[in-house]
Amino acid sequence: MNADMQEILLEAEEPPSSNPNWNDWRWQLRNAITKISKLHKAFPFDTDKLAVLDKVASKYPLAITPYYFSLIDRKNPNDPIMMQCFPSPEEENLYFHIQDDPLGEEKDSVITGLVHRYPDRALITLTDICPVYCRHCTRKREWCKGKWVRSARELEVIYRYLLLHEEIRDVIISGGDPLILSTGKLEAVLYNLRTIKHIEIIRIGTRCPVVLPQRIDIELVSMLKKYRPIWLNTHFNHPREITGESASACDRILCAGIPVNNQSVLLKGINDSTEVMTKLCQGLLKIGVRPYYLFQCDPVSGTGHLRTPIEKGLEIIKGMRGFTSGLAVPTFVIDGLEGQGKIPLQPDYFLSHEKDCVILKGYKGEIFRYYNPRG
Ligand SMILES: *Cc1c(COP(=O)(O)O)cnc(C)c1O
Ligand code: SF4
């Protein structure tokens, strides 16, 4: 038995709690599964699939932290955790109207690493590295460019742009996953942003609470606390991702006075039912996380097999609104192509105008007339 194999068997047999390194986020990153051969050893599948998956992974790499891997239910061939992180031959399928950068992020990038699409907010991408590569990722095209982190020089140009644009009051730090940076590097970015007076709020977009909750350590949250107001947006997609670890990670962020919101992506066979989405959103409220957006999966190459018809999202929202806490109901949005921005979609509660009335539909489907006061 080679050393690699021995290590995997050890990991598989050892309950996470007795692994002394389990809570060390750097260990989790170092031991992430990034090769099909390693995946095959840890999770045996048909050997004849090896070559095709190797080909998929050469285009769209994989990375799965031991923590996220441990959440997979090995008995379920359609496990929702597995489907989010295992490369699939279907990623090579061709679909109509699918492209590498449908949102025109590259075109909208006024300067390297900065997207200024909306009047008062800008988005910075700090790295393309993520602890787990989600198969549905909008930025999949970036993965092939190799691992990069913004250089000091690029950051200087970004700060200068932000300083000159006084209309920007909300800056989103995104990636990749920005929390892959060391706490010190991240602090330098926050420190620099905070020297710009017109920046009111800073948002951090990260999937770490879900795929690498160990990263949310005390050192990180006490650093973040100093640069508030900060809002953290994370990315839970399935109720099974709500674990003791991910709940504690969110709790540590919340205790630092940083609100946590969630942005899910609607994914075929993973969370595309009212039942699963309701369970997810109710579960999020229980851990203090507010469901913010439910995204239609973008028409990005390599994700076609995970996309749902738009009606599916509307049906889910219709099945939630009124039937559960309004706080649990996210806004269903489509990211418009070529930088048109996010477009919110609602089931039809407004039916028509009639003289001085409007005709509305209640959540249970009853239709009624409502007097419309004159302006
Ligand atoms: C989503 C997004 C934002 C933030 O949008 P909100 O609706 O304010 O959450 C900002 N910039 C870009 C490029 C985005 O894609
Ligand atoms: S965490 Fe976000 S940026 Fe990273 S792979 Fe997943 S969807 Fe893409």
Distance 235 CA to ligand 1 centre (A): 15
Closest CA to 264 of 210, 322, 226, 221: 210
How far does the centroid of ligand 1 lie from the alpha carbon of residue 146, in Å? Answer: 25
State the number of CA atoms in the 13 A half-sphere of 13 facing the CB.
6
Please confirm, yes or no, whether 161 is among the known catalytic residues: no
State the pLDDT at residue 15. Answer: 62
Q: Is 191 a catalytic residue?
A: no
- Of 108, 118, 227, 268, the catalytic one is 118
The residue contributing the CA closest to ligand 1 atom 7 is 342
Pick the residue whose CA is nearest to atom 1 on ligand 2: 207
Return the closest-CA partner of residue 217 out of 248, 238, 189.
Answer: 248
Catalytic residue among 134, 250, 281, 297: 134
Sites in the chain below the pLDDT cut of 70: 1-15, 105-108
∠ CA 85-55-236, nearest 5°, is 10
Q: For residue 270, report the phi and psi dihedrals to the nearest 5 degrees.
A: -115, -55
Pocket test for ligand 2, best of 177, 238, 267 (most atoms within 8 A of CB): 177
pLDDT of residue 298: 94
Q: What separation in Å is there between the alpha carbon of 130 and the centre of ligand 2?
A: 6
Alpha carbon 83 to chain centroid, angstroms: 15
Give CA–CA dist 203/126, Å, rounded.
13
Q: What is the pLDDT of residue 2?
A: 44
Query: What's the pLDDT score for residue 16?
Result: 75
DSSP-assigned states of every residue in 77-95:
TT-HHHHHHS--GGGG---
How many whole angstroms from 298 Cα to the centroid of ligand 1?
Answer: 14
Q: How many CB atoms lie within 10 A of CB 170?
A: 15
**Which of 128, 139, 208, 295 best tests ligand 2's pocket when mutated (most atoms within 8 Å of CB)?**
139
Q: How many CB atoms lie within 10 A of CB 190?
A: 18
> Which member of 67, 68, 121, 133 is catalytic?
121
Sheet hosting strand 350-354, strand order edge to edge: 350-354, 357-361, 367-371
Q: What is the pLDDT of residue 82?
A: 97
The dihedral of CA 130, 132, 133, 138: what is its sign?
Answer: negative
Name all residues whose Cβ lies below 6 A of ligand 1: 115, 117-118, 121, 123, 172, 342
Ligand 2 binding pocket, CB closer than 6 Å: 130, 133-134, 137, 139, 175-177, 207, 235
* 297 among known catalytic residues: no
Which ligand has the minimum distance to the alpha carbon of residue 105? 1
Which run of H or of E encompasses 254?
A: helix 244-255
Q: Which two tokens stand for residue 323?
A: 């039937």
Domains and CATH numbers, the chain: 3-92 (no CATH), 109-345 (3.20.20.70)
Tokens standing for residue 179: 């929390």
pLDDT in tens, 87-113: 999 999 888 778 777 777 666 677 999
- Give, for ligand 2, the residue of 68, 128, 137, 142 to mutate: max count of ligand atoms closer than 8 Å to Cβ: 137
* CA gap 292, 149 in Å, rounded: 28
Is 118 among the catalytic positions? yes
Active site (annotated) includes residue 139: yes
Q: What distance in angstroms lies between residue 346's CA and the mean position of ligand 2's atoms? A: 26
pLDDT for 84: 98
Taking the centre of ligand 2 as the mean of its atom positions, its distance from the CA of residue 134, in whole angstroms, is 5
Residue 60 CB-density burial (10 A; 0-12 exposed, 13-18 middle, 19+ buried): buried
List pLDDT tens digits, range 228-237.
999 999 999 9
- At 14 the pLDDT is 58
Q: Given this model, what pLDDT does residue 108 score?
A: 66
Residue-level pLDDT at 262:
98
Atom 8 (ligand 1): residue with closest C-alpha? 121
Atom of ligand 2 nearest to the CA of 205: 2
